[in-house]
């Protein structure tokens, strides 16, 4: 397998994490349940990760969604070691997200999360969850993803993010990111987002706290993708807990 520029050092630029305003993102997650970041990756970085999809040795498994009635499209889970840029994103974004997650845990009376990704992965290993979960997804024309939650074992870190690798309305049309929040005794609330290339969306894996008249309670969230009308849509997904 020929190395990409991200592996060889010819393109050593990392993600632009200085643009992240964590107090604002945390507030947005509390208010809306989802938060969109400024662009974290440039076009060349997005294209390099997209190109990896066809480099079979990089991945531990491939899933065709139609085989399992998940939708239409494919996704591939990276094998260890992760590509450097993917590893950097997963490692650097975990601590601020752990701060958000621990705020949620306090509100819901749950146990705290480790402060580092290494600490989380060690806890996952104790539960038999050792397979890496970062993945690249490809949707072609008519591709879509049913509403779901990315739970891979007993230990489920409550936040994840996706990075849009393709250019909406240039590389593909349609294919919006869809989130549905289910609040107790209320109608479900849909959220539709269309991140630009390089932007990330942060969202709950399974649930989040919501403050009601009687205090905090859990609201469930599922996510999916609406039908792609034309072209190919590629997304990088970063899930922090490993899989069983």
* Residues 72-129 pLDDT 10s: 999 999 999 999 999 999 999 999 999 999 999 999 999 999 999 999 999 999 999 9
Q: What is the pLDDT of residue 184?
A: 76
Rg value, the chain, Cα: 17
pTM listed for this prediction: 0.92
Query: Residue 2: pLDDT above 70?
Result: no
* Residues 154-202 pLDDT 10s: 999 999 999 999 999 999 999 999 999 997 778 999 999 999 999 999 9
Cα–Cα distance measured from residue 57 to residue 175, given in angstroms and rounded to the nearest whole number: 28
Domain ranges of the chain: 17-239
When pLDDT is cut at 50, 70 and 90, the band that residue 213 belongs to is confident
Query: Residue 7: pLDDT above 90?
Result: no
Q: Residue 61 has which token pair?
A: 């498994």
DSSP label at 187? -
Q: What is the pLDDT of residue 27?
A: 96
Average pLDDT over residues 12-33: 89
DSSP E strand stretches across the chain: 35-36, 59-64, 71-72, 74-78, 135-139, 144-148, 159-164, 172-174, 177-182, 189-193, 200-204, 207-212, 215-225, 228-231, 233-239
Q: What is the pLDDT of residue 183?
A: 79
Q: What is the pLDDT of residue 185?
A: 78
Query: Residue 29: pLDDT above 70?
Result: yes
Average pLDDT across the chain, whole number = 93
Q: Which carries the bigger pLDDT value, residue 162 or residue 2?
A: 162
189-193 vs 200-204, strand pairing mode: unpaired
- Beta-bridge partners for 160: 203, 239
When pLDDT is cut at 50, 70 and 90, the band that residue 5 belongs to is very low
- Domain 17-239, CATH number (from 2.40.40.20, 2.60.120.620, 3.30.420.40, 1.10.260.30): 2.60.120.620
Q: What is the pLDDT of residue 11?
A: 41
What whole-number percentage of the chain has pLDDT above 70? 95
Q: What is the pLDDT of residue 13?
A: 63
Q: What is the pLDDT of residue 1?
A: 37
Residue 69 CB neighbours (<10 A): 7
Contact 171, 232 (CB under 8 A): yes
Query: Residue 9: pLDDT above 60?
Result: no
Q: Concatenate the DSSP letters of all residues of 63-110 into one string.
A: EEGGGGTSEESEEEEEPSSPPHHHHHHHHHHHHHHHHHHHHHHHHHT-
């Amino acid at each position: 397998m020929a190395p990409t520029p991200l592996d060889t050092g010819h393109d050593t630029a990392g993600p632009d994490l200085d643009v992240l305003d964590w107090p604002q993102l945390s507030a947005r997650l509390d208010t809306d349940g989802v938060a969109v970041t400024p662009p974290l990756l440039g076009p060349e970085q997005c294209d390099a990760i997209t190109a990896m999809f066809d480099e079979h040795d990089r991945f531990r498994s491939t899933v065709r969604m139609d085989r399992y009635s998940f939708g239409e499209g494919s996704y591939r889970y990276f094998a260890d070691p992760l590509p450097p840029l993917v590893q950097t994103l997963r490692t650097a974004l975990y601590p601020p997200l752990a701060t958000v997650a621990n705020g949620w845990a306090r509100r819901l009376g749950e146990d705290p999360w480790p402060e580092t990704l290494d600490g989380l992965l060690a806890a996952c290993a104790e539960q038999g969850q050792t397979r890496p979960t970062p993945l690249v997804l490809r949707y072609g024309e008519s591709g879509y993803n049913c509403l779901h939650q990315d739970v891979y074992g007993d230990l489920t870190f409550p936040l994840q993010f996706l990075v849009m690798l393709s250019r909406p309305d240039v590389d593909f049309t349609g294919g919006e990111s869809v989130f549905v929040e289910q609040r107790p005794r209320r109608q479900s609330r849909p959220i539709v987002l269309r991140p630009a290339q390089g932007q990330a969306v942060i969202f709950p894996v399974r649930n989040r706290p919501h403050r009601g008249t009687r205090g905090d309670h859990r609201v469930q969230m599922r996510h999916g993708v609406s039908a792609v009308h034309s072209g190919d849509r590629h997304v990088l997904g970063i899930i922090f807990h490993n899989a069983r």
